[in-house]
Structure 1
Amino acid sequence: MNRTWKTLLTASLMPMVLNAQAATLLVGSYTDSPSKGIYRYAFDTTTGRITPAPLQVVESVSPSWLVLSEDNRQLFAVNETPQGHVSSFAVASDGAITFVNQVSSLGDEPTHASLSQDQRYLFVGNYSVSAETGGSLVVLPVDKHGKLGPAVQQERHVPSGVNPERQAGAHVHAMVPSPDGQHVYASDLGADKVFIYRYDGASQGHPLSPAIPPAAALPPGSGPRHLVFDAKGSHAYLTLEMSAEVVVFDVQKGALVERQRLPLTERPEAAAKAAGGLHLSADGRFLYVSNRGTVNQIVVFAVGKDDGRLALVQRRSVEGDHPREFTLDPSGNFLLVANQKSNEIVVLHRDPLSGTLGEAVQTLHQPAPSDLKFIP
């Protein structure tokens, strides 16, 4: 698909850019709104405030999920549209972003991506709203300049069909490598499973192969969404979107062994159950999980030092609608929420000692934000 790509720069940089405490905030968004694509802001880690105007706007079609390379010099975005694509960008030392290339994702509505530990491949999850098309995972090669190549591997899963409206087809919602780089985990909302693959970067053609066991099964109709590992790779945490739960796993030679499952809301109605993203604090002491729907909260859990089990600390309103994603800032003193449907980014103060979320520091208008990534 031919597209016109261009970079729009603001006429002048905000004074905050010169602040030694400034970090770069990248915002992905949906462009079926007034949004134009990827937004680059400066964020003051002392005050918790985002510059009112973006430093740069990079035109891209619905770049709903962003991935940064290990050195922060390459940026990848999934273009979440029918007949999906994935785009690559270069990030200059001053933060300026320029387009590199775009390739097909071989599927519809890609929603997530991640890089292999060796930075050689990008793993992409095609959600695919249509059950007839069905979701899939694809593997895209990445050269040393960040240029994407055509897909070298595509895998499809069998849906569970438990929910006839949402699980008639496979829906890959996340692709997450293990911290040691030896496995890749594909959360499939339509299959009620997390599929486990072994990764071999030296393999010619198919770097992913089914692990033993090949999957971890979740409750029928629960809808696995996003997965995150602790720093050591000993425990993993998974959101179940449709049942609004968070699952704790022990990781044993790549296998996921369920140890705990907790609800994100006490409300029983389906409209209150729409689990989203989850992130651990940098010190691993707290887990933050979003729940959308009619609840619109960030749920805070304390993480057991030895066993990784969770204990509820707080449920905090996001002060907006549909927290598609969120992130902790580099200082650990603030949590930023992308409220997609209320078109805003809300910055909440965070207490690093207790893990609790306090007052809102700022609410910034941003059309349909979907992902937030920091470059420290």
Structure 2
Amino acid sequence: MMRIYVGTYSGQIGLLELSEAGEITSLRSVAGLEAPAFLGLHPNKHTLYALSETRPGRVTAYTLEPTTGELRLKNDQVLSGTYTCHLSVDPMGRMLFAASYGSGHVHLLPLTPDGALLPEAACIHHEGHGARPDRQEGPHAHCTVPHPQQPYLFAADLGVDRVFVYRIDRQKVRLESHGQVALPDGAGPRHIAIHPNGRFLYVINELNSTVTGLLFDPEKGLLTAIHTQSTIPASHNGENYPSEVALSPDGRFLYGANRGHNSLSVFQIEEATGRLLPRGHISVEGDWPRHFAISPDGRWLVVANQKSNNVVFFRLDQETGMPQSLNRQVALPAPSCILFLSLESAGPARLEGSSG
């Protein structure tokens, strides 16, 4: 069995349960709180974190009930930033990171051994502005992503067209500024995906509909831009604001979601250089794909279409990397985040079957 938790702007966290035969055996709300727009998981898979995109921001920790998948409130913490929109968890499970879009802050919260949240221990405010006064009048931190092996945190700031690098001091529980890389003026970096090899990073840019590949030097902790590709076809003339970016678990393919064009862009990754080779686009079968996620086994991709109120399922072709429509969707008000939880003992889920 595989469980899928869905964050929303409608005041609930939804839970989908998929049987081995691919049937949805359960669709229910497992928690209610204000705007739980983004979700994260502790490495031990026993604690789920929900981020309320509010003023001020708030993070809530839940204990995952292993048999039922229900969420039991553990505790919560208020953040010093506003409209916090993204969270991530230290791979060692000792701290949680968050980005506040409204105020341009990066946050660090220590975690107890059982995953409970301790009060904010660090809060860094970015400075500056970008080329677009309508969206870049000041800093807008949009994501924080820790390196899976090295003690570094990467933070994309849409407002100042930069990706910041922080060194994580786990002993003193703090972040030390280590460097930054500038993206093209008006790019609007939003989310980051890190390749399994730890050397390639990919940043999706919300304001100019591109994705930029970066090379990371783990010894020096430095980022260098490799190249940039468009996320939309040249024929598209309407508005478009990319949202999420993610890699297949084997690191062979990269996917980006386009809000406006309402598509997933697909790229193959050149193994030696990390360069992106465009492979095409596929419709998300809905409106405004705010987020998507790939299952841990790399077989399934699920999209949260915020404006059309639907969660849509795709199967990933293991050879070409292209998502294949299953003509299957679930209605859920204002979905905004997809989080997979694989139950190894139950085996992988299969999504073939009837549409819903």
Q: TM-score, normalised by structure 1?
A: 0.87
> Which residue among 93, 101, 113 is the counterpart of 1:119?
93
Q: Match of 1:243, as an amino acid? A: N
> Which residue among 135, 153, 156 is the counterpart of 1:166?
135
Q: Secondary structure at the match of 1:272?
A: coil
Structure 1: unaligned runs, 5 residues or longer: 1-21, 129-133
Quick check: 2:246–2:293 contact (8 Å CA) kept in 1?
yes
1:64 and 2:37 correspond = yes
How many residues end up aligned between the 2 structures?
339
> Which residue among 276, 286, 291 is the counterpart of 2:258?
291
Q: Secondary structure at the match of 1:181?
A: coil
Q: Secondary structure at the match of 2:287?
A: coil
Q: Give deviations 1:12-61, integer Å, cap 9, x for gaps.
A: xxxxxxxxxx2011111002xxxx311121024653x534632x421121
Corresponding residue for residue 75 of structure 1:
48
Match runs of 1:191-206 below 5 Å: 191-203=160-172
Structure 2: unaligned runs, 5 residues or longer: 343-356
1:259 and 2:232 correspond = no
Corresponding residue for residue 348 of structure 2:
none
Measure the CA separation in 2 of the matches of 1:76 and 1:270.
38
Corresponding residue for residue 147 of structure 1:
116
| Alpha carbons of structure 1 residues 123 and 268: separation in structure 2 relative to 1, 3 Å | farther
Q: Secondary structure at the match of 2:27?
A: coil
Quick check: 1:116–1:181 contact (8 Å CA) kept in 2?
no
1:225 and 2:190 correspond = yes
1:373 and 2:352 correspond = no
Measure the CA separation in 2 of the matches of 1:52 and 1:178.
34
Quick check: 1:245–1:262 contact (8 Å CA) kept in 2?
yes
Corresponding residue for residue 153 of structure 2:
184
Q: Match of 2:280, as an amino acid? A: Q
1:87 and 2:87 correspond = no
Q: Match of 1:123, as an amino acid? A: F
State the 1:308 CA deviation.
Answer: 1.2
Quick check: 2:17–2:27 contact (8 Å CA) kept in 1?
no
> Which residue among 320, 334, 345 is the counterpart of 1:354?
320
Quick check: 2:143–2:156 contact (8 Å CA) kept in 1?
yes
1:40 and 2:3 correspond = no
Measure the CA separation in 1 of the matches of 2:236 and 2:140.
23
Quick check: 1:86–1:104 contact (8 Å CA) kept in 2?
yes
Quick check: 1:183–1:197 contact (8 Å CA) kept in 2?
yes
Which sits farther off after the overlay, 336-345 or 77-86?
A: 77-86
Measure the CA separation in 1 of the matches of 2:89 and 2:126.
21
Quick check: 2:18–2:26 contact (8 Å CA) kept in 1?
no
| Alpha carbons of structure 1 residues 183 and 355: separation in structure 2 relative to 1, 3 Å | same
Q: Give deviations 1:282-316, integer Å, cap 9, x for gaps.
A: 111111111112x0110011111211111111200
Q: How high is the sequence identity, in percent, across the aligned residues?
A: 33
Q: Match of 1:79, as an amino acid? A: S
Detail structure 1 runs of 4+ shifted over 6 Å in the superposition.
none
State the 1:127 CA deviation.
Answer: 0.6
Measure the CA separation in 2 of the matches of 1:182 and 1:353.
34
Q: Give deviations 1:120-176, integer Å, cap 9, x for gaps.
A: 111110111xxxxx3211111111122211111111111323111111121110000
1:27 and 2:6 correspond = yes
Q: Give deviations 1:301-351, integer Å, cap 9, x for gaps.
A: 111121111111120010111101011224433211000010000112221
Quick check: 1:265–1:272 contact (8 Å CA) kept in 2?
no
Corresponding residue for residue 200 of structure 2:
235
Q: TM-score, normalised by structure 2?
A: 0.91
Measure the CA separation in 2 of the matches of 1:219 and 1:125.
21
Q: Give deviations 1:209-261, integer Å, cap 9, x for gaps.
A: 011xx111001111000111111211111101100101111111321111110
State the 1:90 CA deviation.
Answer: 0.6
Corresponding residue for residue 104 of structure 1:
78
